[in-house]
Structure 1
Amino acid sequence: MESLPQDALHLIFSLLPLPQIMICRSVSKHLHQVLTSPSFIHLISTHSPPLRLLALRPPHHRHHHLSSPPSLHVFDPDLHRWLRFPLDFLPFCSPHPVASSSGLLYLWADSPDSTKSLVVCNPLTRRFLTLPQLGSAWSRHGSVLVDSATRVMVLTELAALYFSGGAGNHWLKFSSNLPSKPRSPILVADSVFALCDVGSPWRSQWKLFACTISKLRSSQTWTRLEKLEWGDVFDILKRPRLVRGNGSKILMVGGLKSSFSLNSACSTILILRLDLDSWEWDEAGRMPVDMFKCFQECSKFKVFGGGDRVCFSAKRLGKLALWDNCPGKAEWRWIDGVPGSGDGLCRGFVFEARLTTLP
């Protein structure tokens, strides 16, 4: 094998699925050198499809112990198994993964001088890059949004920080005109969407807001999106959240109210889908009644995922519910074996594992 030209080896191993490539890298020093070379990584990143995994965020109240090396726990919905990517190559304390895009993982970490930094890395290539420093307040209150263009936004109720990795290599700060703290903001193409409560202290009233990144320099950055045809779409859901869908679609998930009364009970969990091209809503999924019984007694639940897969967690449940609407599936199922105690609220994001090089 060592006598074969490197181009031939690259072509042979590029036909393997990504998990097998990772295994082959551990076979010998020669294969490790071949399969970690920049030319092979470039070939794989442009031609090999990524692994779409569901990654867990560590709980806010728990820090990594010295006896437990930091890692990223992910679930492979196709093979129905949990995987772990070590993060011990990062020279930071308590790395906290929060977002991902195009094979890159973004996480908050404690720098040696005890300040918070936003770090981007690839757990498969074990390479990392530290973004310009931010204050600790942003890591506590800001939502991190990233997209395929390696643009990064940290969003709070009052302001937004934006970083595109340009020549300036610094964060741009913009004021916000949102009426309340943005709930479950998502980044789709050049726009950011978020839900905001415009109601009273006694009754919530959720509305959809959007802003365009290219127009952030304007004074009024956010626009309330409303159409008469939408009717009471925001009133039928209790505690709605947004999840990024496929292409130009976004998902809105929440408990389906049994009535419009103030403290009405929910009959199930509903997934609505908004097409950003036609601006029309449709029903994408509805949790089966038997599965919803496990969530019925919980005051709140968490939602994460993207595309055609959405996960649901609740306290003391010990497992996750998965809506899998990929072609040929369209099913609801349970995910057991959640890492850790499994009795808390799980948060997470989609991690597309691939051998992407850092920008």
Structure 2
Amino acid sequence: MESSPINRLSPDSLHQIFSSLPLRQIMICRSVCKFFNQLLTSQCFTEIISARPPLNLLALRPPHHRHAADAHPYIHVYDPDEDQWFRFNLDFLPFRSPQPVASSSGLIYLWGDSVNSADSSKSLVACNPLTRQFKVLPQLGSAWSRHGSVLVDSANRVMVLTELAALYFSGRVVANQWLKFSSNLPSKPRSPVLMSCSVFALCDVGSPWRSQWKLFSCKLTNLTVTHTNWTCLERHEWGDIFDIIKRPRLLGGEGDSKLLMIGGLKSTFSLNPACSTILILRLDLESLEWEEAGRMPLDMYRGFQESSKFKVFGGGDRVYFSAKRMGKLAMWDLWGGWRWVDGVSGYGDGLCRGFVFEAKLTLMQ
């Protein structure tokens, strides 16, 4: 490379040339040689391409059996546009057994044990695997990592929500601390989502022998000194929409104005009915009107019908499904319909979970 004609070009010229490449090709060029890596990881170049559209990827959480402190940490990532699996190394993090749990705006949030601490206290860490930068949020106890759901929105506001309490972190330098509130929910929140400056969660308000799901929301501006003010979202026009879905889950839809609810489509209204397929419903948060967004084909649903447990994850315009002993994922694409995703490895029972990772080359503040 020292005698290459490319060295005769100024850094500014090289930055302009490489900035015309798609993000995928930029990441490939970084691994060609040390010169390219230094050039394409510099602050100047990162600032030039920081406004580029992100890569919409799927990041899988590590399997539960991979907790060894000496294991090389990584994130297993799927690119649906290229139909390829690859890994992002997390070896730049000074934490033991990092466990990724959420992502937003190019950052991945994970729980990590300090290598210098003998106790089991965990920290919530935000990092960008592409720039290999990270920052540690104010420390939390291990109970939050075991029982709390980590929610992040497009403004990188963070909430850790449990059945009893909620922790909120705005990321502002002035506060730089967690604010604690009582959850004040009628039951344990299922699949909570933080979007459009509000938190959404499903709660079972039924009896021990029959579930009755309701949708609750709380605006971040309604966080008071002591508790969260939740509102049950109901409309007469919705009818029995929550009664036709078995074991519903929530995911954020495309943009900040759509909310997805996914679950089994009940075949009858009996006490423990069988399901005919998996249904995806979409709620417009502005008009509060539901519509059907997708319905799993019957030949694909047969694999999930035989499984006693399956997971739903993703969001935006793509939703993924995994089940025990499947060995692959089912994917719903808003624009491309349904298809199988092969290549899932490292999960003994085939059951995995994940989240959307919008990969961007942006510097952390």
TM-score by length of 2: 0.94
Query: Which residue in the other structure is 2:155 paired with?
Result: 149
Query: Which residue in the other structure is 2:323 paired with?
Result: 314
Query: Which residue in the other structure is 1:237 paired with?
Result: 245
Query: Structure 1 residue 210: deviation in Å?
Result: 0.3
Q: Give the 4+ runs in structure 1 shifted more than 6 A.
A: none
Query: Which residue in the other structure is 1:273 paired with?
Result: 282
**Separation in structure 1 between the aligned mates of residue 90 and residue 96 of structure 2, nearest angstrom:** 11
Unaligned stretches of 5+ in structure 2?
1-5
SS of match in other structure, 1:98: strand
SS of match in other structure, 2:26: helix
* Residues 74-89 of structure 1: pairs in structure 2 closer than 5 A: 74-89=77-92
**Separation in structure 1 between the aligned mates of residue 38 and residue 329 of structure 2, nearest angstrom:** 39
Q: For residues 64 and 55 of structure 1, do their structure 2 counterparts lie closer, same or farther at Cα, with a shift above 3 Å needed?
A: farther
Query: Structure 1 residue 126: deviation in Å?
Result: 0.9
**Separation in structure 1 between the aligned mates of residue 191 and residue 278 of structure 2, nearest angstrom:** 17
**Separation in structure 1 between the aligned mates of residue 320 and residue 24 of structure 2, nearest angstrom:** 23
What is the total number of aligned residue pairs between the two structures?
Answer: 354
**Separation in structure 1 between the aligned mates of residue 138 and residue 240 of structure 2, nearest angstrom:** 43
1:133 aligns with 2:139: yes
**Separation in structure 2 between the aligned mates of residue 280 and residue 106 of structure 1, nearest angstrom:** 32
Query: Which residue in the other structure is 1:58 paired with?
Result: 62
Identity within the alignment, %? 72
**Separation in structure 1 between the aligned mates of residue 85 and residue 28 of structure 2, nearest angstrom:** 17
SS of match in other structure, 2:363: coil
**Separation in structure 1 between the aligned mates of residue 273 and residue 169 of structure 2, nearest angstrom:** 42
Query: Which residue in the other structure is 1:175 paired with?
Result: 182
Deviations, residues 121-158 of structure 1 (Å, cap 9, x unaligned): 11111111111100101000000011121111101111
SS of match in other structure, 2:50: helix
1:72 aligns with 2:78: no
Q: Indicate if the aligned counterparts of 1:132 and 1:171 stay in contact, CA closer than 8 A.
A: yes
Query: Which residue in the other structure is 1:300 paired with?
Result: 309
Deviations, residues 268-314 of structure 1 (Å, cap 9, x unaligned): 00000000111100100000000100011222211001111000011
Q: Indicate if the aligned counterparts of 1:319 and 1:342 stay in contact, CA closer than 8 A.
A: no
**Separation in structure 1 between the aligned mates of residue 156 and residue 147 of structure 2, nearest angstrom:** 22
Query: Which residue in the other structure is 2:3 paired with?
Result: none
Q: Indicate if the aligned counterparts of 2:184 and 2:228 stay in contact, CA closer than 8 A.
A: yes
Which of 5, 11, 14 aligns to 1:9? It is 14
Q: For residues 263 and 323 of structure 1, do their structure 2 counterparts lie closer, same or farther at Cα, with a shift above 3 Å needed?
A: same
**Separation in structure 2 between the aligned mates of residue 300 and residue 25 of structure 1, nearest angstrom:** 41
**Separation in structure 2 between the aligned mates of residue 169 and residue 210 of structure 1, nearest angstrom:** 25
Q: Indicate if the aligned counterparts of 1:102 and 1:356 stay in contact, CA closer than 8 A.
A: no
Unaligned stretches of 5+ in structure 1?
none
* Residues 183-262 of structure 1: pairs in structure 2 closer than 5 A: 183-217=190-224, 219-247=227-255, 248-262=257-271
TM-score by length of 1: 0.95
AA at the equivalent of 2:104: S
**Separation in structure 1 between the aligned mates of residue 154 and residue 219 of structure 2, nearest angstrom:** 16
Deviations, residues 5-63 of structure 1 (Å, cap 9, x unaligned): 322221111111112112222333332222111121122111x2211001101234541
RMSD: 1.4
Query: Structure 1 residue 220: deviation in Å?
Result: 5.0
